[in-house]
């Protein structure tokens, strides 16, 4: 496994592989890798001749400077894990390397990027599109792998790929959960043991709601989840939206779409840590 810090070195290593017709898998990450990332890397290694994993905490997608500052950074441990997973290349640029000049490009895909996370984190998806489009240009992957925990992010990137005409396959991969049900996230590292136990309630409430939804309305199902979580000490729901899985627009009834997903963001604990999760009701 080779670690590159510059786009030039990375591109020099990839160019001959591409010329030989080898397939390239890209797994974009912000590091602090866990079993969720490992599942993406394993899939890329299985499906491609060469796997590139980027590790870069992208400043342009953080709208809260404290969040950016607190984001866990564990490059050495990340590289050890990636080596054990047989990743070929790690790309870990500095901010100056990734953004030699301020990126003034604007990516806008309403309504997909204006609801839920887009409404609460202004500029977040623009920043995601800035870095992901740069990675796509540098790596020119055959396939790119993203976790479904960031459900809306995948929808925005799908829109960006189509808008920018990137010739690649997007590979959404299922959420990986702890045995407790807690969705794996780099942000879990910021939780105390007690907060982690509290955070388990999020996936439990979502799971319970799937059964409940079978004989209750969308509004009742929504209220069940929000009520249960807001009644739990240490948790505060920022939003829970039950939406069409493609347009991300709220649905009023279970008949409104063949593909329905509940997307949630919850603040957990003292700091607090912002956790996201989602569950499929239909489709």
Residues acting as catalytic residues: 37
CA-to-CA separations, 143 to 19, 47, 87, 140, 255, in angstroms, rounded: 17, 9, 14, 9, 34
- Distance (Å) of CA 282 to CA 214, 245, 258, 279: 10, 9, 6, 9
Distance CA 91, CA 6 (A): 8
Select the span of 23-31, 63-71, 223-231, 244-252 touching ligand PAF (CB under 6 A): 23-31
Residues in 174-213 that interact with ligand PAF by CB under 6 A: none
275 binds ligand PAF (CB under 6 A): no
Write out the H or E segment, with its range, that includes residue 261.
strand 260-268
Residue 28 CB, nearest approach to ligand PAF (Å)? 4
> 3-state class of 70 per DSSP?
helix
Q: Among residues 29, 44, 198, 232, which is the contact residue for ligand PAF, using CB under 6 A? A: 29
Residues in region 30-69 near ligand PAF by CB under 6 A: 30, 58, 61
- Output the smallest distance, CB 260 to ligand PAF, in A: 23
> Which part of the chain contacts ligand PAF (CB under 6 A), choosing from 22-30, 114-122, 160-168, 216-224?
22-30
CB of 147 to ligand PAF, least distance (A): 7
Q: Which of 32, 115, 132, 235 binds ligand PAF (CB under 6 A)?
A: 132
CB of 114 to ligand PAF, least distance (A): 17
Nearest to 29 by CA among 150, 111, 181: 150
- The reply on whether position 78 binds ligand PAF by CB under 6 A is no
Cα distances from 229 to residues 2, 48, 202, 204, 225, in angstroms, run 44, 41, 7, 10, 6
Token look-up 């990450």 returns 29
Which residues would be at the binding site for ligand PAF (CB under 6 A)?
28-30, 58, 61, 128, 131-132, 150, 153
């Amino acid at each position: 496994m080779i670690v590159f810090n510059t786009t030039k070195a990375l591109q020099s290593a990839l160019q001959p592989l591409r010329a030989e017709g080898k397939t390239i898998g890209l797994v974009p990450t912000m590091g602090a890798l866990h079993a969720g990332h490992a599942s993406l890397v394993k899939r890329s290694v299985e499906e491609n001749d060469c796997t590139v994993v980027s590790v870069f905490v992208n400043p342009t997608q953080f709208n809260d400077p404290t969040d950016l500052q607190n984001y866990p950074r564990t490059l050495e441990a990340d590289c050890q894990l990636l080596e054990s997973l047989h990743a070929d290349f790690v790309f870990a640029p500095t901010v100056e390397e990734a953004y030699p000049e301020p990126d003034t490009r604007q990516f806008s895909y309403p309504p997909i990027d204006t609801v839920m996370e887009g409404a609460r984190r202004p500029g977040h998806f623009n920043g995601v599109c800035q870095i992901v489009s740069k990675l796509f240009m540098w790596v020119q992957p055959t396939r790119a792998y993203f976790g479904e925990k960031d459900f809306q992010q995948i929808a925005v990137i799908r829109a960006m790929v189509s808008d920018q005409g990137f010739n690649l396959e997007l590979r959404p991969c299922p959420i990986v959960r702890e045995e407790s049900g807690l969705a794996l996230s780099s942000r879990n590292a910021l939780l105390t043991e007690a907060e982690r136990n509290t955070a388990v309630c999020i996936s439990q409430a979502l799971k319970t709601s799937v059964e409940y939804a079978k004989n209750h309305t969308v509004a009742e199902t929504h209220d069940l989840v929000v009520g249960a979580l807001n009644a739990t000490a240490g948790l505060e729901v920022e939003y829970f939206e039950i939406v069409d899985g493609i347009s991300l627009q709220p649905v009023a009834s279970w008949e409104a779409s063949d593909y329905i997903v509940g997307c949630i963001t919850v603040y957990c604990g003292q700091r607090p840590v912002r956790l996201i999760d989602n569950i499929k009701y239909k489709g």
